[in-house]
Amino acid sequence: MDLTAIERQLRNESDVAYKRRVLTMIEFLDPQPGERILDCGCGMGFYLRAMRSLQPARYYGLDGDKRALAFARQALAGLGISLVEGDVLRLPFADSSLDKVLLTEVLEHLPDDRQGLAEIRRVLRPGGILALTVPQRRYPALYDPINRIAEGVFGRPIRHGPFAGIWANHERLYAPEEVTARVQEAGFAILEGRHLTHYCFPFTQTIVYTLGKGAIERGLLPDWVLRSAHRFRSDDNRGSPWNPINWALAVFNAVDRLNAGDTGRKGTYVNYAIKAQRKA
């Protein structure tokens, strides 16, 4: 699959872990014309927009966050994508009605991850594909030093507030074998598992989400910065060498290139990705 178009859409992405999740999930899903594909926990709709640019499948997005859905409806207007407010634990779709489901950075938020996976299995047709990612319990200390220190000193992570980091509003993080077992117990066959992102710029989580995302949401950044920093405005970034935001992106991407060809033998990773198939 040629993901060049998706890479262009990720031009403004400063979280290299997010970039690797997007490319991996779309590779795992491999959208085909006419397929019924659900982004379960679609947020602001970036994955849906990216997949729609590759293939004219029948796309659906579900999320429980009203503000994120409002942004998605505006960003995806005219693309023929159906968006619905809903609960992952009670999906508003008929049994065996979908061909593929994307579940990225969602399972860790659910109070009952087993029920969530059971719902995904219910709405997928036999042989349908599930692509998911979760944050790893053993994450790189450089990615979120604040939480690594909190866990070491206080014996517990920061789950809420501006410094929640990788633990933000999460019920749990996962060891790869734990999430693999959950998926298998739910009635899926594992087709592939992949570790994602060991090397990253120090304090990536804090820089991107605590500082960057917070400033964007509060309207604190001028338009010339947003053209190079906003996830949905990559087309506005002309790659000017005089733009300091592009300098920062170049540094983040240089560090990320160390992850190329990683065989999963490092001790820590930001995410674990699974491609699974619903059993009959």
As a whole number, the mean pLDDT across the chain is: 95
CA distance 157 to 167: 7
Torsions phi, psi for 44 (to 5 deg): -85, -5
pLDDT in tens, 116-130: 999 999 999 999 999
Per-residue pLDDT for 217 more than 80?
no
CA distance 74 to 51: 17
Domains and CATH numbers, the chain: 4-278 (3.40.50.150)
- As a whole number, mean pLDDT of residues 265-275 equals 97
CA distance 237 to 160: 33
Looking at per-residue confidence, does 172 or 238 come out higher?
172
- Alpha-carbon Rg of the chain, whole angstroms? 18
CA-CA-CA-CA dihedral for 21, 23, 27, 30, to nearest 10: 100
pLDDT in tens, 135-149: 999 999 999 999 999
144: nearest Cα among 23, 17, 247: 17
- Give me the percent of the chain exceeding a pLDDT of 90: 86
Per-residue pLDDT for 221 more than 90?
no
Looking at per-residue confidence, does 184 or 222 come out higher?
184
CA distance 221 to 216: 6
pLDDT bucket at 150, cuts 50 / 70 / 90 = very high
CA distance 224 to 236: 9
The number of beta carbons lying within 10 Å of the beta carbon of residue 148 is 18
CA-CA-CA-CA dihedral for 183, 187, 190, 194, to nearest 10: -20
The number of beta carbons lying within 10 Å of the beta carbon of residue 206 is 18
Beta carbons of 174 and 113 less than 8 angstroms apart: no
pLDDT in tens, 68-112: 999 999 999 999 999 999 999 999 999 999 999 999 999 999 999
Question: Between vectors from CA 24 to CA 131 and to CA 56, what angle results, nearest 5°?
Answer: 75
Q: How many CA atoms lie within 13 A of 235 on its CB side?
A: 3
The pTM is what? 0.95
Residue holding tokens 């190329």? 260
pLDDT bucket at 238, cuts 50 / 70 / 90 = confident
CA distance 261 to 211: 30
CA distance 117 to 134: 13
pLDDT in tens, 11-36: 999 999 999 999 999 999 999 999 99
41: nearest Cα among 81, 101, 93, 99: 101
* Those residues with Cβ within 8 angstroms of residue 35's Cβ, 6 or more apart along the chain or in another chain: 55, 57, 58, 99, 100
pLDDT bucket at 210, cuts 50 / 70 / 90 = confident
